[in-house]
Amino acid sequence: MTFSVRDAGREDGSACLRLAGELDLSTAPELTAAIDRLFDAGEIRVLLDLTDLTFCDSTGMAVFVRGDNRASAEGGWLRLTGANGRVDRVLRITGLADVLRYQPEAADPASRTAS
């Protein structure tokens, strides 16, 4: 399955991107560019919907961390939601679920901003 990232509009004051397919070394630059475009446009709160993401390697995880670091530096946040299967498991095993305050199904992404 190929990778895609699409603008999913806004939810609770945050810009949302929906990821699908496999996020790896060859597709990570596409997500990095999409996240950078949002920050460059002035967005500081970004929600990544991982519902349709079927695979994510360490390169993809690094994109999540990079995005979170940039968001934090600009006074915002990057959050993840909707991961399932292997992607959910990798987030939990690596500890990124805690670092990025991942919640599989949070109604309000802003509720995850507490440190």
Instruction: Please report whether residue 115 resides in a domain.
Output: no
Instruction: Please report whether residue 47 resides in a domain.
Output: yes
Residue 83's CATH number: 3.30.750.24
Residue 1: pLDDT band by 50, 70, 90 thresholds?
low
Instruction: Provide the domain limits for residue 57.
Output: 4-106
Q: How much is the average pLDDT of 87-95?
A: 93
pTM: 0.86
Instruction: Please report whether residue 113 resides in a domain.
Output: no
| Phi-psi group of 13: left, alpha or beta (phi > 0 → left; psi -120 to 50 → alpha; rest → beta) | left
Number of domains in the chain: 1
HEC-encoded secondary structure of the chain? CCCEEEEEEEECCEEEEEEEEEECCCCHHHHHHHHHHHHHCCCCEEEEEEEEEEEECHHHHHHHHHHHHHHHHCCCEEEEECCCHHHHHHHHHHCHHHHCCCCCCCCCHHHHCCC
Instruction: Please report whether residue 21 resides in a domain.
Output: yes
Helix axes 85-94, 58-73, angle to 10 degrees: 60
Instruction: Please report whether residue 64 resides in a domain.
Output: yes
How far apart are the two ends of the chain, measured CA to CA in Å? 35
pLDDT tens for residues 20-70? 999 999 999 999 999 999 999 999 999 999 999 999 999 999 999 999 999
pLDDT value at position 9?
Answer: 87
Instruction: Please report whether residue 35 resides in a domain.
Output: yes
Burial of 66 (0-12, 13-18, 19+ CB in 10 A): middle
Q: How much is the average pLDDT of 76-94?
A: 93
Whether pLDDT at 79 is above 60: yes
pLDDT value at position 110?
Answer: 45
Instruction: Please report whether residue 15 resides in a domain.
Output: yes
Whether pLDDT at 12 is above 50: yes
